[in-house]
Structure 1
Amino acid sequence: MMREDEISFTAKTDLLIAHYGESYLKSQKRERKEYSCSNKMRELARLLITYRASVNDNSIAFKDLLHPEKFEGVVSATRKLSGFDPINKTYEAPSTALHMGTSLKVVSDELIHLILKRSPGFICESPEKSLEWRKNVKNFKMLVGTRWNTEISSVANKDLNEKRWERPLLVPLIDDVKMFREKTLEFAKECQKHFLENTDTDDTYKLFVNCTLALLVLFNRRRIGDVQYLKIKDYLSERKTNFKDFESTLSEGEKILTKHYKRVLNGGKGSRAVVILVPEVLQDFLNLIIKKRDKYISADNKYIFAIPNSKIQWSQADVAIRYLTKKMKLKNPAAISSNRLRKHIATTMQILSMSQQDCKQFSKFMGHTEKTHEEFYELPVDIYQTAKVVKLLILMEEGIPTQHKGKSLSEIEINLNEYVDEMQPESSESAIQQEQTENHEGDENEKRRLNYLDTDEENNDVPSKKRPKTKKQAWSIEEIALIQKHFGNDMKKGRYPLSSEIKKFIASNHSKRSVLQIKAKMQHLMTKQKAN
């Protein structure tokens, strides 16, 4: 099951790692867990190899590491193994650093079990030495439980989270998904034609199986393991309910859908039952696979997606999808994967007004909880998030009016023109610079300044570059006095009041000035105060 290299040799020859793998397999039911077991054993073997290299001693066994005095060495080896950068406090493989602590706890329990059983290779000379050995292992496990988070997990978890949100949002493009489906269907139908003409070969059968598997993953947006491990007996078995009361709650269109899509139950992650919905076209493909499989697949293979001349009993969906994407001219082929397709549909759900019950049923279908759906699959869409959140923040700045009570953000419409004007930094700076320039040129009347902004409301929608020249309205002594009276404290502190306060000032004094014009005048007055 393992690759033949130094890591596999170490894993197989170290007694404790071998016993750990044996115990792991005992706790699992499905045979495909052998691959997971292999990964865990190789991970421990890599830690042992790294530790041996650090102390320059190849005679050390893994059982020798589980001692309180070796804890610091194990921590250092784990950091080196996971690519820790002490300056930037980052990991190349933070997930490895995270779950190594859990593996060490399990291995410690396994070692105590072997010592108590006096298994070959773990027999002590006396009960006292056995007790002392078990005590050291327990103390090592206690150190892992109390110090691993401080030494390793805390920084590794933060680094993992940072890398997750720093990673660009990569979801499949609709055009790519459509092209992938259409091209894969074409490949499958070509293979189907070869079967009908009896010109099929091993390659034909393999391509047909991979196309069907990829299309089923694509349609259901399921994990690859939920689909690729489907067994023939599970596909052929009928598990239908006869609850007529539920049928009455469905619309006519929904009743038609239940007749054209086959519902298949399969064992998924954590031995949970997962649902696979099979369209009619894929039902035809699967029936043809079952019909022709005797020619290519041995009778003892019970998996429906088995491929010829393979050491593995099932086809690997991720490999099949990557192989098919290379045969197409997609804009972003890397985004076509099981995990990203699941995130794609979960993210798209944010646009729909789904009830809590709908979300619950959808999460069950996807094979995870609602919390997992929200935390790991429902990605924030920058455009959607920005538009909705900015609208809410603008409403909060003014206070949510009573007419918006009970409405969703999508139902609320607000006039954003004035907010957009206020958020134009270039325009604001131009206004200030223009006014300062005019004042610097020496207007004879210091109490009357010309403002570059035109108060004619008809010209507000005209871009600044194309705006026709208009007569500028001078500031009166009364206007300046009102600004100094209402906003004198703010100007003394060198700050601007809130836009909402300026709007109240405009409304109460029936001013024809805009918020931006008043801010520009305040800037000029504050500059003048500093100069004096």
Structure 2
Amino acid sequence: MLAVMKDDEITATVRSDYSILQLAHSFFNKHGQDPTKYDYIRQTLRESGRLLLILRKEFSIHTLEDAVRPAHFDVVIKAVKKVSGYDDEKHCYRTPSLALKLGHSLQKVSDILHCRALMAQDSNLIKSTQSFKTLYAAKWSELISHTALTTLNERHFNKPSTLPFTEDVQCLHLEKITEQALKDLEDHKNLFLFARPHCLTPYRGQDCLRLYAGECGAEKPELLRSTLLRKHVATLSQILNLKNHELDQVANFLGHDIRVHREYYRLPEATTQLAKISKLLLAMEKGSLRSLQGKTLEEIEIEELNVDTRRPTTFTPPPKNEESLRLWLKALNLKKPPKRPYVCSFHFVDKRPTEDHPIPEKWLGYEVPIKTPRRRVQRLADTDDSHCDEEADQTIPQSEATLHKDADTQWEVQALMDHTYTLEGKMKDVCDRETQCGGEVPLAHAILKNDTSCVLYTGLSLNAFFDHVKYLEQFYKANFKMHEMDQILMTMMKLKLNLLQGDLAERFAVSQGLVSRILSYWIDTMEEHMRIFIPWLPRDTIRSTMPQCFREKFPNTTCIIDCSETNLQKPHNLDSRGESYSHYYSSNTIKYLVAIAPCGLVMFISPAYGGRCSDKFITQESGFLEYLRPGDEVMADRGFTIRDLLFERRVNLVLPAFTHKGGQLSDEDVTATRRIANVRIHVERVIRRLKVFKIISQTVPINLSHKMDKILRICAALVNMQGEIIHEDAD
């Protein structure tokens, strides 16, 4: 493996150092059975050799074993920066990956020396290698790795997405070289298909590509590399709009599965998707979106847009010649033409008046009539205009009258709709949901007509909803092109009714993408600023607001707790599936803890846990215990075996009585259990009110599970904003 290395100063340094040879021996023991790893081993050895060569020339350190001594750590840092091309002014590396690789090699050499010292029982060397490892762990990241990784990340983000030119790919196929290569394959002594002449090793694909890319005359030979060529094929396959099974065949041919093909090798932002979006942008620039109504991006053709990108739209004044002006006005066919009717270049065949086409002829709002002789109608000075129009229509054949309709009397002329500058006055009152103007009335006023409809869509009364919107608007920092009130209503409709994003998009006349962004933003914003609506009440407040049913039998109660579960879409990951499986419901669920005050106010709601978690585990891990103080009293169900946890905090636990070994409860236990159940039912009522929000009561999709902690807190806050759940007269 060392014999085939390039015979130069670096190779001589590698062969002369015992520690580097031991490093090579370690790599060979691990990868020696795989010949494809030999190049990797040789490259790693040459990297270590380059470092040692710098140490010998500039710092008088002659072996790598001396380099990994603690006293020479600063010198090694300087040598690594020197080899990797560190720039002190810009604080970046010319070759950042080399700095990272040298760190791994030095750590490996230190491990080899440490093992050798342990076997030889050399205490000095053991202490030296341990000290070097400690220094490496503490300082290497600070002095080398952090800057190298930063350089790599900056280059990654600033690197443009490039693909080889099709012409360059065609140039790469050299017929003469191909014929010569076929002749060289006739060497039967070499077992490899792509055999080197007069040698027993094969050609490496990357070496051949690099060589012939430079010789083929390509404009960008550096782009003709294996990875970029695969990207080239993958991108062209998307342009061809292949079907799924055909894409699978392409992916198998390129050496990876369909997921990798779609995720890593396609470049839609630089090719096909950009071309499709450009169609839409051209239509928006022309103001002709109405002509494309109901079409998909694939159905829009560039020809439909009729855009001349060579010159901007210009306005041509009318001609001064009387005959030319008469023809000009006749072509425009206006009832009341202005004194100087300017015409935009869109209406001319050549985008401007020419000798062949001196007057406007295109998109004039009417079709050119068939030139058939007809009787001239003379208008009298005292004749009513409408009467003249009726008489004129009677003198024209029916087919011609249909074609010769005046432009100003048409309800909608598609070509004129493209001219947005002619409709400025008419369009002032027209607003798209995604381009709302500031003075538009929110759609919420039309949807929420009374308290009944407001409770249906949001869970709040009408006054409570508007107060809530006023509170949240002060935290709005986004720039969605939609009224803030409508955004909040959309989010609350998602929480209350769990409507599909497509349904919300239809109701609010926006795109599904905008709905997704609005929901994500407002769930985060609401959760952050609605935490104040889930307060942990002071003990005096709990006592003063305690209903009569608690005062009589349980006057020291601080809170009532219970756990609830919501179905979860079955995860694909087996570990996640096991963690979320609930044996009680025999399905995958999320589980959360709810604690309410005796008055019915939600004081605590835990994050969402997997359905497999026990009540005790959630109580201990959710942070609920941190709110309890000595002397408090917690009421719970039988499943909460948390008496030991509460005893440490000097908190009393009230539970229904248990039966032991099939026995029956005593009369006192039956009475106590009945009294506890009579007041503990209120936490069930609060949870039922919480599950009125269908996003919690219905099956939670996997893609929403990461937001469930925030959704639970928002819904709990909305429950607290509703009316009282425990009424004194009902008690």
TM-score, normalised by the number of residues in structure 1: 0.51
Residue type of the partner of 1:306?
A
Render the CA deviation track for 1:375-433: whole Å, top value 9, x for unaligned: 7644568564542232355678989989866x753223478758767x96x768x99xx
Q: Distance in 2 between matches of 1:44 and 1:500?
A: 70
Pick from 170, 173, 182: which aligns with 2:164? 170
Q: Do structure 1's residue 208 and structure 2's residue 183 form an aligned pair?
A: yes
Q: Output one character per residue of 1:239-298: Cα deviation in whole Å (capped at 9) or x when no partner.
A: xxxxxxxxxxxxxxxxxxxxxxxxxxxxxxxxxxxxxxxxxxxxxxxxxx4xx71xxx2x
Which residue among 11, 17, 23 is the counterpart of 1:8?
11
Matches within 5 A, 1:348-387: 348-355=236-243, 358-368=246-256, 373=261, 377-379=265-267, 384=272, 386-387=274-275
> What CA distance in whole angstroms lies between the structure 1 residues aligned with 2:66 and 2:423?
76
> In the TM superposition, what are the counterparts of 1:12-161 in structure 2 within 5 Å?
12-28=15-31, 29-54=33-58, 56-59=59-62, 61-66=63-68, 70-88=72-90, 91-118=93-120, 124-125=122-123, 130-131=126-127, 133-144=129-140, 148-159=144-155
CA contact 2:172–2:213 (8 Å) conserved in 1: no
- Check 1:392–1:403 CA distance in 2 against 1; reply closer, same or farther (3 A cut): closer
Q: 1:96-145 CA deviation, whole Å, 9 max, x = no partner? A: 23433443444443343333333xxxx6245xx62453243244145335
Find the aligned partners of 1:91 and 1:80 in 2 and give their Cα distance.
Answer: 10
Cα distance in 2, alignment partners of residues 325 and 83 from structure 1: 28
Deviation at 1:152, TM superposition (A): 1.8
Given candidates 348, 360, 380, the residue that maps to 1:459 is: 348
Asked whether the equivalents of residues 238 and 272 of structure 2 are also in contact (C-alpha less than 8 Å), the reply is no
Identity %: 24
Secondary structure at the counterpart of residue 347 of structure 2: helix
Matched, 1:342 2:261: no
SS of residue in 2 equivalent to 1:411: coil
Kindly indicate whether the alpha-carbon contact (under 8 Å) linking 1:307 and 1:314 is maintained by their aligned counterparts in 2: yes
79-88 vs 500-509, which moves further: 500-509
Unaligned runs of 5+ in 1: 189-205, 211-288, 432-448, 471-498, 511-532
Secondary structure, counterpart of 1:390 in structure 2: helix
Deviations 1:339-392 (A, max 9, x none): 443332122122022355654553343224556545764456856454223235
Distance 1:142 1:410, change over 3 A: farther
* 1:496-511 correspondence runs (5 A): 505=424, 507-508=426-427
Q: CA deviation at 1:37?
A: 1.0
Q: CA offsets per residue over residues 491-519 of structure 1, 9 Å max, x none?
A: xxxxxxxx998686354489xxxxxxxxx
Deviation of residue 86 (structure 1)? Answer: 3.7
Q: What is the alpha-carbon distance in structure 2 between the residues aligned to residue 176 and residue 76 of structure 1?
A: 47
Letter in 2 for 1:341: L
- Is the contact made by 1:85 and 1:91 (CA closer than 8 Å) also made in structure 2? yes
Give yes or no for the alignment of 1:315 onto 2:203: yes
AA of the residue aligned to 2:78: S
Query: In 1, Cα distance between the equivalents of 2:276 and 2:214?
Result: 38
- Give the letter aligned to residue 165 of structure 1: P
Mark the CA change 1:376 to 1:89 in structure 2 (over 3 Å): closer, same or farther: farther
* Change in 2 beyond 3 A, CA 1:333/1:414: closer
Q: Tell me if the contact between 1:347 and 1:381 (Cα under 8 Å) persists in the aligned partners.
A: no
> Residues 291-333 of structure 1: CA distance to partner in whole angstroms, max 9, x if unpaired?
x71xxx2xxx5323334422x5223445556777788777777
Distance in 2 between residues matched to 1:450 and 1:124, nearest whole Å:
107
Report the CA distance between 1:79 and its aligned residue.
3.0
Partner AA of 1:44 in structure 2 = S
Q: 1:208 to 1:43 in 2, by over 3 A?
A: same
CA contact (8 A) 1:82 1:94 kept: yes
Distance of aligned partners of 1:319 and 1:40 in 2 relative to their CA distance in 1, 3 Å threshold = closer
- Letter of the 1:152 counterpart: A
Maintained 8 Å contact 2:345/2:352: no
* Separation of aligned partners in 2, 1:465 and 1:95: 64
Sort the Cα spacing of 1:357 and 1:325 in 2 relative to 1 into closer, same or farther, 3 A: closer
- In 2, Cα distance between equivalents of 1:157 and 1:347: 25
* Counterpart secondary structure, 2:122: coil
TM-score by length of 2: 0.39
Counterparts of 2:340 and 2:69, CA distance in 1: 79
Q: Relative to structure 1, is the Cα distance of residues 504 and 48 closer, same or farther in structure 2, using a 3 angstrom cutoff?
A: farther
Distance 2:240 2:258 in 1: 16
- Is this contact kept in 1: 2:14–2:21, CA < 8 A? yes
Whether the aligned pair in 1 keeps the contact of 2:163 and 2:232 (CA below 8 Å) is no
**Corresponding residue pairs, total:** 345
Whole-angstrom distance in 2 between the partners of 1:373 and 1:48: 42
Residue 278 of structure 2 is matched in structure 1 by 390
Unpaired segments of 5 or more residues in structure 2?
Answer: 317-337, 361-417, 430-731
